[in-house]
């Protein structure tokens, strides 16, 4: 028989999954605590025992997404792949989330109205891992500048492509093409040695 803590953790997991599904289906406006509770199969009041309000729930969903990105970056950072390939895969992780779950991607880059502590902490972990990956390509001295360039370039390309403004017929480019071009223009620590 599950303990009370295990039951609470399972309920929280079901609420987060329900919120994620609603978010994917219709954006933040589609997420209500009542519908999340119904999807999780719990009472109307159960979501409030885990989250103060809808914004707290969405903040937890965003924090979990950043944690998942961090886990992916940690795996990439530990791989034996070439630094440029690891960097490419790191940025592709963001592109994949943006394409498969555009509302979640947008939520990840929106300042939460609820307490942002959890999102900031998990996003910081992802940023630090990303900077470590960038440093392996360009060296630690200029990693922050090039990390910012790569992140903003890729994020901008994703946004333009999702909104239809990076039309491949007109620009003959995708977000991946823009990302690959940016990576190909990086100075490498080997070229400066």
Nearest Cα neighbor of 49 from 66, 30, 36, 61 is 36
- Tokens linked to 25: 């289906």
Q: Phi and psi of 42, rounded to 5°?
A: -120, 170
C-alpha–C-alpha distance, residues 69 and 55, integer Å? 21
* pLDDT (tens place) for every residue of the chain, 193 residues total: 889 889 889 999 999 999 999 999 999 999 999 999 999 999 888 999 999 999 999 999 999 999 999 999 999 999 999 999 999 999 999 999 999 999 999 999 999 988 899 999 999 999 999 999 999 999 999 999 999 999 999 999 999 999 999 887 888 999 999 999 999 999 986 554 4
Closest CA to 141 of 104, 187, 100, 177: 187
Give dist(CA 127, CA 22) in Å, integer: 27
Length in residues, the chain: 193
DSSP 8-state secondary structure symbol assigned to residue 142: G
Q: Which domains does the chain possess?
A: 1-51 (1.10.10.60), 54-188 (1.10.357.10)
Which structure tokens are listed for 40? 């999780």
Q: What is the spatial distance between Cα 81 and Cα 78, in angstroms, rounded to a whole number?
A: 9
């Amino acid at each position: 028989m599950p303990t009370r803590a295990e039951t609470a953790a399972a309920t929280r997991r079901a609420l987060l999954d329900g919120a994620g599904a609603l978010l994917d289906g219709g954006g933040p406006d589609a997420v209500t605590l009542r519908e999340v509770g119904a999807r999780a199969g719990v009472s109307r009041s159960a979501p409030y025992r885990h989250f103060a309000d809808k914004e707290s729930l969405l903040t937890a969903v965003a924090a979990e997404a950043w944690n998942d990105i961090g886990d992916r970056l940690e795996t990439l950072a530990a791989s034996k792949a070439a630094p440029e390939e690891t960097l490419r895969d790191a940025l592709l992780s963001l592109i994949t989330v943006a394409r498969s779950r555009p509302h979640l991607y947008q939520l990840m880059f929106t300042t939460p109205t609820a307490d942002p502590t959890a999102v900031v902490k998990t996003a910081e972990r992802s940023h630090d891992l990303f900077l470590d990956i960038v440093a392996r390509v360009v060296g630690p001295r200029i990693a922050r500048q090039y990390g910012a360039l790569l992140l903003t370039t890729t994020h901008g390309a994703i946004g333009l492509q999702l909104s239809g403004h990076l039309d491949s017929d007109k620009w003959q480019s995708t977000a991946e093409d823009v990302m690959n071009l940016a990576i190909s223009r990086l100075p490498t620590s080997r070229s400066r040695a």
